[in-house]
Structure 1
Amino acid sequence: MIDLYYWPTPNGHKITLFLEEAGLPYTLRPVNIGSGEQFHPDFLAIAPNNRIPAIVDSQPMDGGPPLSVFESGAILLYLAEKTGRFLPADLRGRTVALEWLFWQMAGLGPMTGQYGHFHVYAPEAIPYAQERYAREAQRLLGVLDRRLEGRAFLAGDEYTIADMACYPWISPYAKAPLDLAPHANVRRWHAAIAARPATQRAYARAADPRFARPAELDEAQRRVLFGAPPTP
C-alpha cells in the first residue's frame, strides 16, 4: 500500500517508526543519498526538494490515483489522518501534538543537523560553528526536557507523531554524541520509546545490506550528500 523512499537517517526513521507502530504494509525503496540517487528524475517527481523521505500511497483516502507526499512532517500528518492514529482527536490535544511536530521540523531537526554537520562531516573544524550549534542543540534539549516534566510523552499520556518526529534527533551522531546528562526527562522519554517493539523493528530495517554506507566519505560523496548533484 505504501512505498517509502528511504535512507536510514533521522528523518527516514520517523516514517518507519510510524509504519511499524500502525502495522501498515509498506515497501522500502532505497534512495542512496551518498551516490546521488536523490537527484534522479523519477525521485524528483515525488520529492522536488531532493530529500528523503517521501511516500507514494497506492490507496489514498479519496479513492483516487496513487498520491505522493514529501517532507517528513507532512508524511507523518498524512499517515496519522489516514489511519486515525497517533494524533489526538480533540482540538486541544491535536493542537499540542502539531505544535511539537512543527517545533521539531523548524528547530530540533535543523539545529541538530547543523551540529552534526560541523562536528562530523565538515572538512575542517570551525570552532565558532561548532560552539554555536552545540549551544543551540543543548538549548533545544532543555526546552524538550521542560516539556516532558510530569508527562509520559509530548502531548501527555498519548504517544503521537510529535514523539516520533523528535525521537530520532536525540543525539543521532555516534562520532559526536550530545550530552544528555542534564536532561533527565529526555533520557527517560527516549528510553521508553527505544523499548517499544515497533521502534526496534523500525531501526532493524536500517541493517538491510542495501543501506550499507562507507566508514568515511570521500570528497565527491560529501559534496553529493550536502546538496551538489553528482558529476556526470
Structure 2
Amino acid sequence: MSDLSQFPITRRWPATRPDVIQLYSLPTPNGVKVSVALEEMGLDYEPHLVDFGKNDQMTPEFLSLNPNNKIPAILDPNGPGGRPLALFESGAILIYLAEKSGKLLPEAQRYEVLQWVMFQMGGLGPMFGQLGFFHHFAGKDIDDPRPKERFRAEAARLLKVLDGALAGRDWIAGDYSIADIAIGPWLNTLNGFYKASEIAGWADLKNVPAYLERFLARPAVQKGLKIPARD
C-alpha cells in the first residue's frame, strides 16, 4: 500500500484508498475535466470535495499541493517510476492521465489534440470565464459596458473558430480525445450556468450546438459532471 503521509493535503482530506489516484476538485468547468477523463479512461480514483464556500482552496494543506490555490489537483500514488506524483493545472493533468492510461491521446493526432487543449486553456476558458463574470455575476453591476463587450466579442470569435473547425467532424481532432474533454465543460457552462451563449452568437453556430449535445450524451460525461458530489 502506498504511503501518502508525506503529503500534507492528506491530513485534511484523508485517503481511504491510498493506492488509487486522489482527486481534489469541485464540479466546475475545470474541475469536471478531470473527473470526466478519469471516468472515460476507467482509471480508479478517490474524489475529495474542495469547498470554495469554506475557503478550502486557501488552506495550508491544499496550498501544499497547489500553491496557485485552484482546482483541480491530483495525487497519484503510482506515478512515474512508481513514485507518488502531485500535479495541478487541468490541462497538464489531462495529458498525464492520457499518457498513463494510453487513452484519448492518439499518437497519430497527438499534436492536433494538444493544440486544441491549449486553445481551450488559453482561450475558451479565460474568455468564457470573464464573460460569465460580467454577464452573470458581480460584473453585471458595472456601468462601463466596455469590459463585458470585450469578452463577449472574444467569446463569439472563439466560438466561430471552433464552429469552423468542427465542420464535417464529430470531434475536434478526429477521434474523441482529451481535447473534447477540455472544451465540452466550458461550452456547457457558457450555455447553462453563465446563461451567456445567446449574446455570444450561439444561434448562428452550425456545428457547436450538436457537438455539445454529443459530448453531454456520453455516460462517462454525465457521471463526471457530478463529481465530486457537493455536500
Q: How high is the TM-score relative to the length of structure 2?
A: 0.85
Shift of 1:171: 4.7
**Quick one: which of 7, 10, 32 aligns to 1:13?**
32
Give yes or no for the alignment of 1:75 onto 2:93.
Answer: yes
Aligned equivalent of 1:199: 221
Is 1:116 the counterpart of 2:128? The answer is no
Cα deviation per residue 1:41-86 (whole Å; 9 max; x = unaligned)?
A: 111111111100000001113112x111100000000000100100
Sequence identity percentage: 46
Q: Is the 8 A contact 1:193 1:199 kept in 2?
A: yes
Deviations 1:146-204 (A, max 9, x none): 01001111111x11111100001115153523122111211111111111111111123
Give the unaligned 5+ runs of structure 1.
Answer: 211-232
The aligned counterpart of 1:135 is 153
Counterpart in the other structure of 1:225: none
Unaligned runs of 5+ in 2: 1-19
The within-5 A match list for 1:84-123 is 84-90=102-108, 93-122=109-138
Q: What's the CA shift for 1:104?
A: 0.5
Size of the aligned set, in residue pairs, is 205
What is the CA-CA distance between 1:128 and the residue it aligns to?
A: 1.3
SS in 2 for 1:34: helix
What RMSD over aligned residues (CA atoms) do the two structures have, in Å?
1.4
Q: Would you say 1:181 and 2:203 are equivalent positions? A: yes
Higher mean Cα deviation, 22-31 or 160-169?
22-31
Aligned equivalent of 1:230: none
Match of 1:190 among 212, 221, 225: 212
Match of 1:154 among 169, 172, 197: 172
Runs of 4+ in 1 over 4 A off after TM superposition: none
Partner Cα separation in structure 2 for residue 142 and residue 46 of structure 1: 37
Is the Cα–Cα contact under 8 Å of residues 171 and 177 in structure 1 kept in the other structure? Answer: no
**Structure 1 CA distance for aligned equivalents of residues 193 and 79 of structure 2:** 38
Aligned in 2, Cα 1:199/1:97: closer, same or farther, shift over 3 Å? Answer: same
2:230 and 2:125 map into 1 onto residues whose CA distance is 26
Q: What TM-score do you get using the length of structure 1 for normalisation?
A: 0.84
